[in-house]
Structures are given as structure tokens and as C-alpha cells.
Amino acid sequence: MKNSLALSALVLIACWLTACEDHRNSPNAPFPERINFVAERQYPEGIAYSSLLGKFVITSITQGKIGTVDTDGRYADLLSAPELISGIGVKVAGERLFVCVGDQGVSVKSTPQTAFKTAELLVFNLNTRQLERRVEMDNLLPDARHFANDLALSPDGTIYVTDSFSPVIYKIMPDGQASILVNDPRFASATFGLNGIVYHPNGYLIVAQTGAGKLYKVDLKNGNAISEVGGIASLPGDGLTLLNNDLYVVTGQGSRVAQVRSADNWQTASVVKTDENGYFQATTNVAVNNQIYTLNARIREISAAMGNTALLQSRDYSIQRFR
């Protein structure tokens, strides 16, 4: 269906083995509580932070490009590529940017061949702005609907990716080899299934199943055993960020962020705090300076515009700090 980029495996293995996500640690840096920015028709679904650039990094559902936002709210285009149809989840580790590519059919690069059929991971070099690797995952489950949504980086360079339209989590090895980690009916949904994902340093994944309103734990040290995180009422999660062992969940159709805590290694958990001020159609968040910053992305406008992308004209977005 699509051709992968051929690169030196040894070089990329060396790079990916140090793929630890950026978390800026500059407590005296002037990060405001709210950052408003203008980006024409960006509809940014994912957010990360680059210590190399000193800026937030955001994707675009509609434009097939990556941009940056500084703490003063100045937006700038960063990079693009023909393969970047629609950027969803994004992570930054040093010089490299990892972005999930899905396609809801609303991008300027969407085609009948890619819409609702795409699950890929692209790796860019932030110094050269060039595409280094393209990993296809949709071909692992042919003839199914696909939408690569979010990713988690583990310390050994392994990457885990959720698919919202197929009930699977993909595993990408440091050499770029992709496989299906788990395929489970609990992850299926008539709308959006799997969404946000984080890697826990104790050796497991936590994922949000949006349609079911549940969090699940995938134990990588125990045969990838899947268990529901108990103790929580319905919590339809979008983006997830783990900070100081608390999980910050964008929920309520993007209207709030819930701080979730576990005392038993995420067998069960509870909501300890909810911030409901300053969020509007938010998608996901990122940890910066030991704080959580959430992207207000106007995400519900995407669903409303299906079949009529001329409706997608928004230009005003924001990044809100959890309080």
C-alpha cells in the first residue's frame, strides 16, 4: 500500500535507545498559566514540548504539518512531508519528533485510499527537519478501519501506539519492526476506542478507552495481561499524561482535566482533583516544568464538519495549565 523509508538500522537503533520524552525542568522560566495563539485552520490534536527548540510542538489534523508555539503565543510552521497526512499524537525525545498519522478524511492531504485506513508512525529529525523513518502498522490488520491516535515511549526505545478504529495496540521495536502487541475486544468501539496511552516506569501501559469510558492497564512484564483500572466511575478519556505517578486525563469531551491517583500500582484508582476552568474542546496534555499543560484544539468541530471541510475555519487556540 505504501513504501517505507530505508535507513541505516544501526544509526536509528542508537537514536531510539535514548528515546526518553522531553520534560523541561526550568522552574524559573516564564511559563504563563494560559497561552493563546493563532494558527490558521490548524486544528492541532497533539502537543509535546521540545527542550531543543524551547517551544511547544503541535500537530495538525487538517493541514498535514507540525508547528511550534512559544510561551508568548507565537505560532510558526516547523515541518511537513507528503507522508504526514494528518498529525495526531506527538512526542519529542531530544533531536527526534515522533508523530502518529491517522486520517479522518478532513486533511488537505486526505484521499479515498487513506481516509479511515491509516495507522503510521513518522520520525523526524528536529535539526534537519527531515523525515527519518516511516513505520506502517495498518498493514498488520488488513481490511480493517484504522486511526493511529497516540504513542508512548519506553526507556529502551520501544514505542507503543493506539488505534482508535481497531482494538489493537501496536509495538514498534527500536529497529522499526512493528507488530500487534494486543488485540482485544474490550478495546473495540462503535465510535472512538483506544485513545491516550502512557508508559509507567514499573513496566506497564495505561490506556484510555474513550467509548467505554474506562482506563485499562497492560502489564508488559506479565504476558501483556489486560485489566481494567477499577474504582473509577465512567471517565471517557482522551489524552493522558503521567506526572509524579498521577495520571492527568482530558475528559468531559474536552471540557476538563481529571487528576487520577492510584495506591496499588494501578489496579484501582480514584479522581483526586478536577480542573474545569479554561478548557474548550481540549484533546491532550504534556508535562512541562513539573506542570500539566493542555491543548484546547476545537476538536469537536472536526466531527461536525465531516463531509463539509469548508466549515473548518478556526484560527484561535490555547494551551492551559492545570491548577
Q: All domains of the chain, ordered by start, with CATH?
A: 31-321 (2.120.10.30)
| Backbone dihedral angles phi then psi of residue 187, each to the nearest 5 degrees | -95, 0
β-pairing, 214-219 vs 204-209, is antiparallel
User: Which residue is listed with cell 473509577?
Assistant: 232
As a whole number of angstroms, the distance between CA 62 and CA 74 comes to: 20
Residue 115 in contact with residue 102, Cβ under 8 Å? no
User: Which residue is listed with cell 544501526?
Assistant: 10
> What grid cell was written down for 148?
493511529
- Give, for all 323 residues of the chain, the pLDDT tens digit: 444 444 433 334 444 444 678 877 665 667 999 999 999 999 999 999 999 999 999 999 999 999 999 999 999 999 999 999 999 999 999 999 999 999 999 999 999 999 999 999 999 999 999 999 999 999 999 999 999 999 999 999 999 999 999 999 999 999 999 999 999 999 999 999 999 999 999 999 999 999 999 999 999 999 999 999 999 989 999 999 999 999 999 999 999 999 999 999 999 999 999 999 999 999 999 999 999 999 999 999 998 888 889 999 999 999 999 99
Give the predicted TM-score (pTM) of the model.
0.93
Beta bridge partners of 35: 319
> What grid cell was written down for 140?
498488520
